[in-house]
A and B are shown apart, each in its own frame.
Chain A
Amino acid sequence: MKKRLILLTACVAVMTVVSTSCKKKSDDPAPSPTLYDRVGGNTMVADPVGGAQIQKGRLTLRAVTDSSLYVIAGDAALSKYFPVLLGEVGASNFTGFSALSKNFTDFLCVATGSGDYTYTGKSMVAAHNRATNNRMGSSGDVTSQKVNSADFDTFVGDIGTGLAKNGVTAANNEALVNDLVALLYTTKNDVVQR
């Protein structure tokens, strides 16, 4: 009888220890919001252009991308890397702008932490390496068609101008601008390959 009581007590003690150690602490800090959350997250809103529902985070990133593409097209230092942006097509055809907008927006959605979108384009390394993208340097002037460090900095500056065209500046949201710029710079070593 005594043995049984000891055994029962031991079982209760073990179960208590196990249950309390596995119990999630109620005062655990909430996970910090991702960059995607900070630019709108997955709240559904009406797309101001098409009218369909779209995630607010994606809408923000697409707006910044589109504004930046205008800036890049008007930047002689960069437009040489993006001839598809200004190549004219016929009515109702897909344009380089549309393709770049979708690809880059997808890339940003994934990079900022959205789990609802996928980026299906080439990796940053493959897209900027002549061995895996024969369009890179195919003008014959291989050196000028390879991205250098200054061009990359110009690119980030143009994205900054795109952000400003959407009302986000270092003056009014320094943390967000810094985090987005830092995110872009994580790709620098993949893009600059000389």
Chain B
Amino acid sequence: MKKKIIIRIAASLVGVTFLLFVVLCVHLYGIAKKRDAEKGNLTQLSRIDFKEPIDSVNALKINNFVGSMPEVKGTYFNIPAGLLVYGYAPGALKSQEVFDKVMNFTAHKYKAERYIVSPEQMNTGCPAGMDNSFSMGLANLLFKIFN
């Protein structure tokens, strides 16, 4: 008799826990979906740092070359600093391939390098997007599963 009561209580606890987990999943999926409401903003930025002066004419040529790639959403060339930023959907391009194309774009071999953020740098500065909590991880997982 006592055993039955314990089993029932345990089953109820498991059931309630499962239900709460389902509610949590639905809630987190809702958060992920809401965050995805502005789909156009799922954008990855990459940067090429030129190590030699680039005049405005050549900067425009390089900027237009990268900007004409169908996967590229936008570009910005900081001419005085020689920094080219371009945006694309995550996974739509490989920044190494873009870099290689730019390097082979003209006969002149530019002194340049891809700007790569180190794991140490990623742990500094603005915390936006760096939510590594369990709930955010689960939200992202659910989002991927259902999309």
Chain A contacts to B: CB under 8 angstroms: 47-50, 52, 54, 62, 66-67, 69-71, 73-76, 79-103, 121-122, 127, 133, 135-139, 145, 165
Additional A-B contact list (16), CB under 8 Å, known A73-B76, A80-B121, A85-B126: A52-B37, A52-B38, A66-B41, A75-B81, A82-B126, A83-B122, A83-B125, A91-B90, A93-B91, A95-B45, A96-B130, A99-B130, A100-B128, A102-B35, A139-B120, A145-B125
Q: A71-B76, A73-B45 are in contact. Are A87 and B81 (CB under 8 A)?
A: no
For chain B, residues 44 to 95, give those with C-beta under 8 angstroms from any C-beta of chain A: 44-47, 74-78, 81, 83-85, 87, 90-92, 95
Are B121 and A98 within 8 A (Cβ)? no
Confirm or deny: B115 has a beta carbon within 8 angstroms of a beta carbon on chain A.
yes
Among B83, B91, B124, B128, contact of A91 (Cβ-Cβ < 8 Å)? B91
Contacts of A86 in B (CB 8 A): 45-47, 115, 117
Contacts of B81 in A (CB 8 A): 74-76
Are B129 and A95 within 8 A (Cβ)? yes
Are B129 and A92 within 8 A (Cβ)? no
For chain B, residues 99 to 147, give those with C-beta under 8 angstroms from any C-beta of chain A: 115-117, 120-130, 140, 144, 147
Contacts of B41 in A (CB 8 A): 49, 62, 66, 97-98, 101-102
Q: How far is the CA of A85 from the CA of B43 in the complex (A)?
A: 10
Q: How far is the CA of A36 from the CA of B103 in the complex (A)?
A: 44
Chain B contacts to A: CB under 8 angstroms: 35, 37-47, 74-78, 81, 83-85, 87, 90-92, 95, 115-117, 120-130, 140, 144, 147
> Which residue on chain A has the smallest CB distance to residue B79?
A74
Q: How far is the CA of A92 from the CA of B141 in the complex (A)?
A: 11
Contacts of A50 in B (CB 8 A): 37-40
| Number of A-B residue pairs having CB atoms within 8 Å of each other in the complex | 159
Contacts of A98 in B (CB 8 A): 35, 41-43, 129
- Shortest C-beta distance, A136 to chain B (Å), equals 7
Task: Tell which of B45, B75, B95, B126 has the most Cβ of chain A within 10 Å.
Answer: B126
> Which residue on chain B has the smallest CB distance to residue A121?
B128
Are A84 and B90 within 8 A (Cβ)? no
- Shortest C-beta distance, B130 to chain A (Å), equals 6
